Chain A
């Protein structure tokens, strides 16, 4: 259970001269649910797109960035694999992504059955086999295949669409599933069902999850380890208990305080300031303009990423020795 499945090393992504993701290092272990948490625009979706190699042409990944995939006998750097090979052997076959259902990820002009057929055709899967698989997967996500296959996306509710997207992602038996905000805009009861179902699927198919979310409460529900992302950098990383009961980074603390627990009647506490402009990032620690504990050194130098206790990493001058 503690073998690494995916290792991201020194990931740096820029658009023209603006760096949006900096020095990202993390490992995803086999069978775990690893969560990337951060506000919109922090770079978490960019990291996911880098792994899936679906970044737009204008994005530039540094030559010494690596994304190592450990399934075969020796690790493969996914960034160096030629596109043809990546598309045939890795994309959707080993790693798949479940996009946000709310964002119209389904083609409104074709039926669900054709979504499966198109995906199958794109990956050279036999049509009959694909249909059988689709049937089983739709049942696994608690939908009625007989009814759903002939529906158009517009005839389905948000929860149904999200389940279909999950089934589509599982079509080629991937090992790693990237879940991009899987419950945004869904009702509370539907959210709960989807989360329970995701856990069941993980056990049933032996999956590993990389979860992307802005909602830290959601992450508490299903994640094993969490990385908090701010301005394209990981500011804190640990297992889920440490993040919630022993948060170190002021941003993590801010995120936790921003959400009310059930029965808590108090004034909302927000993180002051707003998300940074990537073209004009401040020097030193990128969070210092919004940090209640900002010190002089925070304004000058970026803090190192250090292990403050076992398996708990933070990037903050409050904990690093100068």
Chain B
């Protein structure tokens, strides 16, 4: 039984243009399964629906269609105690470290507040110990240096560590990290990802790592399950190593070839594979969502919808080429 199981998730939003309300599917019929202790990567650009999908698994967004199950039970139909268990075990590390920390609370306030609210320990002294331990775990050492600081007094990397500490405090079984290092310097990204990885591996926590930078997923190992999303659909799914060696979907291929390579000699060989830019979600092309940009597009792509098909036991792709 997987820890988190999302089936047939559809999330419909509407934009108001004038007097009309135009609906579009931010997430369009997606299945996602995360085993206990597993790390899953969700790869996609802005507008792909990856953040929305992550939030659906955290019950921050209610899907228009589809079910989310936690340890086999539908979160919509859980009893209060079960839901409470789910709620405390599903935590979130958002993208913008500044927007996610309360600007008027010190690190100590933010972390102690959680412990006191849930009465996790019996005394203030124990609470402070728990907070300090967690801070050391995320690399904020010595804790005293950071406890009394407000977010604006911390650097971007430090704020993100506080964010991670906050997610870890309740020792959750599942964490969703939404582009946790996108706003940090390139030289810091590895450190923060490493901190996150070590912390969750120590607690056997599952992680859904949402990003648009595929190289970050490399820190989690070549066996990491990766889902590639485009315009609300999953277009390819495979273990990371397999995905990098043998990307099947044209979108994945384009993503991989577009990654900056720290190799000046490789400049000439890099070309753009996709035409144009992603369409607005309101004007999704019929048939395959990539049909207006794909270099391999055929008549069939404009007419028939694509479904995720298994090419091998772990590699699925949604493309008419296969």
- A contacts, CB < 8 Å to B: 39-41, 157-159, 185, 187-193, 196, 214-218, 220-221, 240-241, 244, 254-256, 258-271, 274-275
Contacts and interface: CB of A to CB of B under 8 A. Distances in A.
Q: Which 6 A-B pairs have the closest CB atoms?
A: A268-B190, A187-B45, A192-B258, A215-B186, A270-B191, A217-B260
A214 B261 contact: no
B260 A218 contact: yes
A191 B260 contact: yes
Contact of B194 (A254, A261, A263, A267): A267
Nearest to A188: B258
Interface string B20-51: 00000000000000000000000001110000
Nearest to A241: B264
Interface string B251-289: 000111011111111010010101001000000000000
B272 A215 contact: no
B133 interface: no
Contacts of A269: 190
A220 B263 CA distance: 6
Nearest to A242: B264
B260 A215 contact: yes
B143 interface: no
Nearest to B240: A265
A191 B277 CA distance: 12
Nearest to A255: B187
B187 A217 contact: no
A270 B259 contact: no
A152 to B, nearest CB: 14
A208 B155 CA distance: 33
Given A39-B185, A190-B45, A214-B186, A261 B261 contact: yes
A191 B155 CA distance: 25
Interface stretch (B62-70, B168-176, B215-223, B299-307): B215-223
B183 to A, nearest CB: 7
Contacts of B182: 185
A interface SS class: loop
B213 A188 contact: yes
Contacts of B263: 220, 244, 261
Contacts of B274: 189
A263 B131 CA distance: 37
B215 A260 contact: yes
Nearest to B194: A268
B212 interface: yes
B8 interface: no
Contacts of B261: 217, 220-221, 261-262
Nearest to A193: B272
Interface of B: 45-47, 155-157, 182-183, 185-191, 193-194, 212-216, 218-219, 221-222, 241, 244-245, 254-256, 258-265, 267, 270, 272, 274, 277
B107 to A, nearest CB: 16
- Chain A CB within 10 Å — which of B156, B190, B254, B256 has the most? B190
Given A40-B156, A216-B262, A217-B261, A260 B187 contact: no
Contact of B185 (A158, A159, A191, A214): A214
Contacts of A193: 272, 277
Contact of A221 (B47, B183, B213, B260): B260
A262 B259 contact: yes
Given A190-B45, A240-B264, A260 B212 contact: no
A233 B274 CA distance: 41
Contacts of B270: 192, 221
B52 to A, nearest CB: 16
Contact of A265 (B157, B221, B255): B221
A265 B262 contact: no
Contacts of A196: 272
A268 B219 contact: yes
Contacts of A191: 258, 260
Given A40-B155, A188-B255, A270-B191, 6 more contacts: A41-B155, A187-B46, A188-B258, A215-B260, A221-B264, A260-B218
A267 B263 CA distance: 20
Contacts of A40: 155-156, 185
Contacts of A255: 186-187
B190 A270 contact: yes
A193 B214 CA distance: 18
Nearest to B254: A189
A220 B266 CA distance: 9
A276 B292 CA distance: 49
Contacts of A187: 45-46, 212
B222 A258 contact: no
B187 A262 contact: no
B191 A268 contact: yes
Q: Residue among B155, B182, B258, B272 with the most chain A CB within 10 A?
A: B258
